Amino acid sequence: MYNYLVEYVLNYVEKEYVVHLDHDEPDLIARYSRAAQVKMECYIKDREILEFLGALYLKEDKVAIEEIWQGRLDEIYRALTGRMLDHVDTSLFRDDLSPEYILKITTWVMEGYQNELIAQVRDKDLSALDMKPYWKEFYAFLEVLRRVLYRQEEVEHGNS
Protein backbone atom coordinates (compact mmCIF):
# COMPACT_ATOMS: atom_id res chain seq x y z
CA MET A 1 0.00 0.00 0.00
CA TYR A 2 2.81 2.39 0.90
CA ASN A 3 4.54 1.86 -2.45
CA TYR A 4 1.26 2.46 -4.25
CA LEU A 5 0.78 5.76 -2.39
CA VAL A 6 4.31 6.92 -3.17
CA GLU A 7 3.90 6.06 -6.84
CA TYR A 8 0.50 7.77 -6.96
CA VAL A 9 1.87 10.95 -5.38
CA LEU A 10 4.88 11.09 -7.70
CA ASN A 11 2.63 10.56 -10.74
CA TYR A 12 0.36 13.31 -9.43
CA VAL A 13 3.28 15.72 -9.12
CA GLU A 14 4.35 15.03 -12.69
CA LYS A 15 0.84 15.32 -14.15
CA GLU A 16 -0.63 18.11 -12.03
CA TYR A 17 2.41 20.22 -11.26
CA VAL A 18 5.39 19.76 -13.56
CA VAL A 19 3.42 19.84 -16.82
CA HIS A 20 1.59 23.01 -15.76
CA LEU A 21 4.74 25.04 -15.30
CA ASP A 22 4.90 27.68 -18.01
CA HIS A 23 8.04 26.82 -19.93
CA ASP A 24 7.18 29.58 -22.44
CA GLU A 25 7.27 32.37 -19.83
CA PRO A 26 10.58 34.16 -20.52
CA ASP A 27 10.77 35.94 -17.14
CA LEU A 28 12.59 33.78 -14.59
CA ILE A 29 11.00 35.46 -11.56
CA ALA A 30 7.55 35.18 -13.16
CA ARG A 31 8.24 31.46 -13.65
CA TYR A 32 8.98 31.01 -9.98
CA SER A 33 5.88 33.00 -9.11
CA ARG A 34 3.73 30.89 -11.46
CA ALA A 35 5.26 27.68 -10.09
CA ALA A 36 4.23 28.80 -6.60
CA GLN A 37 0.70 29.54 -7.85
CA VAL A 38 0.43 26.10 -9.48
CA LYS A 39 1.69 24.49 -6.28
CA MET A 40 -0.87 26.46 -4.26
CA GLU A 41 -3.67 25.40 -6.64
CA CYS A 42 -2.59 21.77 -6.26
CA TYR A 43 -2.44 22.23 -2.50
CA ILE A 44 -5.94 23.66 -2.36
CA LYS A 45 -7.33 20.97 -4.65
CA ASP A 46 -5.46 17.97 -3.20
CA ARG A 47 -3.97 19.06 0.10
CA GLU A 48 -3.47 15.52 1.43
CA ILE A 49 -1.36 14.50 -1.57
CA LEU A 50 1.06 17.39 -1.14
CA GLU A 51 1.17 16.87 2.62
CA PHE A 52 2.11 13.23 2.03
CA LEU A 53 4.81 14.33 -0.43
CA GLY A 54 6.02 16.90 2.09
CA ALA A 55 6.18 14.24 4.79
CA LEU A 56 8.22 12.03 2.46
CA TYR A 57 10.55 14.86 1.54
CA LEU A 58 10.96 16.13 5.10
CA LYS A 59 11.85 12.77 6.59
CA GLU A 60 15.40 12.96 7.84
CA ASP A 61 15.54 9.19 7.69
CA LYS A 62 15.61 8.82 3.91
CA VAL A 63 15.72 5.03 4.41
CA ALA A 64 11.94 5.28 4.72
CA ILE A 65 11.82 6.06 1.01
CA GLU A 66 12.92 3.11 -1.06
CA GLU A 67 15.83 3.80 -3.38
CA ILE A 68 13.65 3.58 -6.48
CA TRP A 69 11.31 6.26 -5.16
CA GLN A 70 14.16 8.50 -4.00
CA GLY A 71 15.66 8.26 -7.48
CA ARG A 72 12.34 9.19 -9.05
CA LEU A 73 11.86 12.08 -6.63
CA ASP A 74 15.35 13.34 -7.53
CA GLU A 75 14.52 12.95 -11.23
CA ILE A 76 11.36 15.04 -10.82
CA TYR A 77 13.34 17.70 -8.95
CA ARG A 78 15.92 17.84 -11.76
CA ALA A 79 13.13 18.13 -14.36
CA LEU A 80 11.58 20.99 -12.38
CA THR A 81 14.90 22.80 -12.14
CA GLY A 82 15.48 22.32 -15.86
CA ARG A 83 12.05 23.71 -16.73
CA MET A 84 12.66 26.71 -14.53
CA LEU A 85 16.01 27.60 -16.11
CA ASP A 86 15.53 26.73 -19.80
CA HIS A 87 14.85 29.47 -22.37
CA VAL A 88 14.91 32.40 -19.97
CA ASP A 89 14.98 35.94 -21.37
CA THR A 90 18.36 37.06 -20.12
CA SER A 91 17.85 40.59 -21.49
CA LEU A 92 15.84 41.27 -18.32
CA PHE A 93 18.94 40.68 -16.19
CA ARG A 94 21.40 43.32 -15.03
CA ASP A 95 24.11 44.08 -17.55
CA ASP A 96 26.95 43.98 -15.03
CA LEU A 97 26.47 40.28 -14.22
CA SER A 98 26.64 37.37 -16.63
CA PRO A 99 23.33 35.58 -17.28
CA GLU A 100 24.93 32.29 -16.24
CA TYR A 101 25.91 33.83 -12.92
CA ILE A 102 22.41 35.20 -12.35
CA LEU A 103 20.91 31.76 -13.09
CA LYS A 104 23.34 30.16 -10.62
CA ILE A 105 22.61 32.80 -7.98
CA THR A 106 18.89 32.28 -8.44
CA THR A 107 19.23 28.51 -8.17
CA TRP A 108 21.39 28.75 -5.06
CA VAL A 109 19.09 31.28 -3.43
CA MET A 110 15.97 29.26 -4.19
CA GLU A 111 17.58 26.07 -2.87
CA GLY A 112 18.71 27.91 0.25
CA TYR A 113 15.25 29.37 0.74
CA GLN A 114 13.72 25.91 0.32
CA ASN A 115 16.16 24.40 2.82
CA GLU A 116 15.41 27.14 5.34
CA LEU A 117 11.67 26.61 4.91
CA ILE A 118 12.10 22.85 5.33
CA ALA A 119 14.05 23.43 8.54
CA GLN A 120 11.24 25.68 9.84
CA VAL A 121 8.44 23.20 9.17
CA ARG A 122 10.27 19.89 9.59
CA ASP A 123 8.76 19.03 12.97
CA LYS A 124 5.37 20.62 12.41
CA ASP A 125 2.10 18.98 11.47
CA LEU A 126 1.71 20.07 7.84
CA SER A 127 -2.03 19.45 7.90
CA ALA A 128 -2.45 22.02 10.69
CA LEU A 129 0.03 24.57 9.33
CA ASP A 130 -1.23 27.89 7.97
CA MET A 131 0.75 28.29 4.76
CA LYS A 132 -0.40 31.85 3.96
CA PRO A 133 2.44 33.60 5.82
CA TYR A 134 4.96 31.37 4.05
CA TRP A 135 3.48 32.18 0.63
CA LYS A 136 3.41 35.89 1.44
CA GLU A 137 7.06 35.76 2.44
CA PHE A 138 7.94 33.83 -0.72
CA TYR A 139 6.32 36.39 -3.03
CA ALA A 140 8.06 39.23 -1.19
CA PHE A 141 11.31 37.30 -1.55
CA LEU A 142 10.77 37.02 -5.32
CA GLU A 143 10.35 40.79 -5.55
CA VAL A 144 13.64 41.28 -3.73
CA LEU A 145 15.31 38.93 -6.21
CA ARG A 146 13.80 40.94 -9.06
CA ARG A 147 15.21 44.21 -7.64
CA VAL A 148 18.64 42.69 -7.08
CA LEU A 149 19.08 40.70 -10.31
CA TYR A 150 17.07 42.53 -12.96
CA ARG A 151 17.89 45.70 -14.86
CA GLN A 152 16.61 48.74 -12.99
CA GLU A 153 14.37 49.86 -15.87
CA GLU A 154 12.68 46.45 -15.88
CA VAL A 155 11.95 46.76 -12.17
CA GLU A 156 10.76 50.38 -12.36
CA HIS A 157 8.49 49.92 -15.36
CA GLY A 158 7.15 46.53 -14.37
CA ASN A 159 8.16 45.10 -17.74
CA SER A 160 9.21 41.84 -16.24
- Structure confidence at residue 158 (pLDDT): 59
Q: How crowded is residue 111: how many other Cβ atoms within 10 Å of its Cβ?
A: 11
Stretch 141-154: mean pLDDT:
90
Alpha-carbon distances, residue 16 vs 66, 76, 100, 121, 157 (angstroms) = 23, 12, 30, 24, 33
16-20, 59-63, 65-69, 117-121: which range is least confident on average? Answer: 59-63
Q: pTM of the predicted model, to two decimals?
A: 0.74
**Rounded (10°) CA dihedral 140, 51, 79, 71:** 140
CA neighbours closer than 13 Å in the CB half-sphere of residue 88? 23
63 pLDDT more than 70: no
pLDDT band at 65 (very low <50, low <70, confident <90, very high): low
Q: Domain ranges in the chain?
A: 2-157
Stretch 106-124: mean pLDDT:
82
Helices (H) and strands (E) in the chain, counts: 7, 0
Calculate the average pLDDT of the chain.
Answer: 83
SS3 2: helix
Q: What is the pLDDT of residues 34-53, one digit of tens each?
A: 888 888 788 778 878 877 88
- Structure confidence at residue 160 (pLDDT): 46
